[in-house]
Amino acid sequence: MTETEPLVRVEGLVKHFPITRGILIRRQVGAVQAVDDVTFSIARGETLGLVGESGCGKTTVGRTVLGLYPATAGAIVIDGHHVRTAKGAELMAIRRKAQMIFQDPYASLNPRWTVGAIVGEPLRVHKLCRDEKERLDRVKELMQLVGLSPRLINRFPHEFSGGQRQRIGIARALASQPLFVICDEPISALDVSIQAQVVNLLEDLQERFGLTYLFIAHDLSMVRHLCTRVAVMYLGVLVEMAQRDEVYESPLHPYTQSLLSAVPVPDPQVARSRKRVLLEGEVPSPINPPGGCRFHLRCPQAEARCATDRPAWRDVGGGHWVACHRV
């Protein structure tokens, strides 16, 4: 494995959730096609943003990449390990190297555990400390690292504010000294005045430890600020991926164009002059997604072949990927 090899490589990833009927004899009557043939990679030390509307499959991509959901098809490689076939010690190595931070800092922390127990858990699971004393010191160090006073070590999650709870989740994720962290909407539940604190913390930690991030988010403004590259998802597929400013300044896919134009800008003069590309209707169901291009029903530029042929996911130059017949 060379240094230029991406840290994370995902190829042709498919994740379908079966829909079953019947009580005694469960038969599969269909599938939620949550992720359908997704290919991307993430270089060491970079932050890839993954954006798209609610239900388009972002969380499912994240959880499947980490092996938390079994993939239906495709290949996932993290730091040279094949996630889908790893067992035993190799699986533990992946679990240690790749971590996740969740959207809801409340639901993802065990309410009956103290902060010390929560942050110290990965240290215990991965046997990273020789004794209890070393573990305690390490937990305090981690708390300090994310801006929590180590004096609060015996408190419970409900005694913290939303922003502080998110810091606890970050400390827990960092405990096993991971290389790769998936941040699933880590700031969506936080107030504006707190969001910047958490984003700046994520940046500091990345710089300090050379972390690689997959940053899943709704907030396209924050993604532009934080990410080096951005991937746009629609109904289970990637439609566009490129360097951050390339996506925001020269989006090629009609979906990316309308998505970006819908983001409100905190500047009344810009708001008055900006042109919106309003989309008709809503995202179709992933149970019976439209054939051909999944976006064709709402696409202002759709033509006949878009309804029948699935556009290829390809690099149109300089690492700008897009799946659209018209590009």
Ligand X SMILES: Nc1ncnc2c1ncn2[C@@H]1O[C@H](COP(=O)(O)OP(=O)(O)OP(=O)(O)O)[C@@H](O)[C@H]1O
Q: Judged by CB under 6 A, does residue 211 bind ligand X?
A: no
Which entry of ligand X, other proteins, Mg ion, none binds 325, CB below 5 to 8 A by partner kind? none
User: Minimum CB separation from other proteins for residue 13, in Å?
Assistant: 23
Q: Judged by CB under 6 A, does residue 16 bind ligand X?
A: no
Q: Judged by CB under 8 A, does residue 155 bind other proteins?
A: no
From the list 56-64, 156-164, 172-180, 267-275, the region that binds ligand X by CB under 6 A is: 56-64
Using the minimum distance from each CB to Mg ion, give the nearer residue, 103 or 256: 103
Parallel, antiparallel or unpaired: strands 237-243 and 321-322: antiparallel
Which entry of other proteins, Mg ion, ligand X, none binds 264, CB below 5 to 8 A by partner kind? other proteins
Q: Which residue has the tokens 């004794």?
A: 131
Quote the CA–CA distance of 75 and 38 in Å, as a whole number: 10
Which entry of other proteins, Mg ion, ligand X, none binds 60, CB below 5 to 8 A by partner kind? ligand X
29 within 8 A of 19, measured Cβ to Cβ: yes
Q: Which of 55, 289, 290, 292 binds ligand X (CB under 6 A)?
A: 55
Q: Which residue has the tokens 């042709």?
A: 12
User: Minimum CB separation from Mg ion for residue 218, in Å?
Assistant: 9
Which entry of ligand X, Mg ion, other proteins, none binds 267, CB below 5 to 8 A by partner kind? other proteins
Q: Judged by CB under 6 A, does residue 49 bind ligand X?
A: no
299 within 8 A of 253, measured Cβ to Cβ: no
> According to CB under 5 A, which residues from 48 to 77 bind Mg ion?
59
Question: Tokens at residue 149, please?
Answer: 């006073």
176 within 8 A of 7, measured Cβ to Cβ: no
Q: What angle do CA 245, 248, 249 make, to 5 degrees?
A: 80
Q: Judged by CB under 6 A, does residue 67 bind ligand X?
A: no
> According to CB under 8 A, which residues from 178 to 237 bind other proteins?
191-197, 199-200, 203, 218, 220-222, 224-226
Using the minimum distance from each CB to ligand X, give the nearer residue, 100 or 139: 100
Q: Judged by CB under 8 A, does residue 288 bind other proteins?
A: no
Using the minimum distance from each CB to other proteins, give the nearer residue, 75 or 152: 152
Q: Judged by CB under 8 A, does residue 50 bind other proteins?
A: no
Quote the CA–CA distance of 279 and 299 in Å, as a whole number: 8
Q: Judged by CB under 8 A, does residue 174 bind other proteins?
A: no
User: Minimum CB separation from ligand X for residue 72, in Å?
Assistant: 12
User: Minimum CB separation from other proteins for residue 256, in Å?
Assistant: 12
Provide the greatest CA pair distance for the chain: 68
Q: How many residues touch other proteins (CB under 8 A)?
A: 45
User: Minimum CB separation from ligand X for residue 59, in Å?
Assistant: 3
Beta carbons within 10 angstroms of residue 321's beta carbon: 21
Residues forming the site for Mg ion (CB under 5 A): 59
Residues forming the site for other proteins (CB under 8 A): 53-54, 161, 163-164, 191-197, 199-200, 203, 218, 220-222, 224-226, 245, 248, 258-271, 274, 276, 278-279, 281-283
Residues forming the site for ligand X (CB under 6 A): 17, 32, 34, 52, 54-60, 286
